[in-house]
C-alpha cells in the first residue's frame, strides 16, 4: 500500500492461541521480527494462552485494551491520512486506532504463534466505517 484506503478482515479459527495483525513497512520486516516491536510496524495482538488479552503495539510499546476478544476484526488503513483502525466487526466498536504519517510502502502483516486465522482481502470499505471516520470516537493512540 502506498496510497488510498484499504480494508480487510481477520477471523481467528477455533484452535487459535495467539496472533498479531496489522501493517508494516515492507523493508522493516525480517523473518524473526515481531509486529509492533519497531517504529515500522503497528499491530493488534491477541492472546489466550493463560488468560485472554488484547493489546495495541507500536515501536516496542504496548497498550492493554479492555475489550473482549472479538470473533472478527476489521482492519482499515487510510495511507494518505495516516489512519489505522481495528474494529470489532460483530459489535461495531473501535478497538484501537493509530494516527501517524506513513512514509514508506506498507504491507498487511500477520503473525500466528499457535492455531490459525482466516483472512478476507479485497473487500470494499464497509459503510459502517463512516461511523468511525466522522466522529472523534477514538481511544488513546500510540502515535509515532
CA distance 94 to 6: 16
Do the domain assignments include residue 29?
yes
pTM for this predicted structure: 0.88
Judge whether residue 142 has pLDDT over 50. Answer: no
Do the domain assignments include residue 116?
yes
The reported pLDDT for the residue numbered 134 is 64
Do the domain assignments include residue 82?
yes
Do the domain assignments include residue 114?
yes
The DSSP symbol for 69 reads P
Do the domain assignments include residue 13?
yes
Structural domains in the chain (count):
1
Using alpha carbons, select from 41, 114, 45, 36 the residue that is nearest to residue 86: 45
Output the domain CATH number for residue 69. Answer: 2.60.120.920
Which domain covers residue 71, as residue numbers?
5-133
pLDDT tens readout for residues 86-129:
999 999 999 999 999 999 999 999 989 888 999 999 899 998 88
Do the domain assignments include residue 22?
yes
Do the domain assignments include residue 61?
yes
Cα angle, residue 79 at apex, residues 73 and 85 outer, rounded to 5°? 25
Amino acid at each position: 500500500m502506498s496510497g488510498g484506503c484499504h480494508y480487510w478482515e481477520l477471523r481467528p479459527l477455533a484452535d487459535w492461541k495467539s496472533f498479531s495483525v496489522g501493517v508494516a513497512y515492507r523493508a522493516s520486516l525480517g523473518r524473526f521480527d515481531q509486529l509492533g516491536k519497531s517504529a515500522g510496524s503497528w499491530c493488534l495482538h491477541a492472546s489466550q494462552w493463560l488468560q485472554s488479552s488484547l493489546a495495541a503495539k507500536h515501536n516496542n510499546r504496548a497498550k492493554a485494551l479492555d475489550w473482549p476478544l472479538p470473533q472478527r476484526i476489521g482492519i482499515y488503513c487510510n495511507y494518505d491520512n495516516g489512519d489505522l483502525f481495528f474494529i470489532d466487526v460483530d459489535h461495531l466498536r473501535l478497538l484501537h486506532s493509530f494516527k501517524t504519517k506513513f512514509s514508506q510502502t506498507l504491507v498487511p502483516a500477520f503473525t500466528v504463534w499457535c492455531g490459525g486465522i482466516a483472512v478476507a482481502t479485497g473487500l470494499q470499505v464497509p459503510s459502517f466505517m463512516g461511523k468511525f471516520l466522522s466522529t472523534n470516537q477514538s481511544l488513546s493512540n500510540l502515535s509515532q
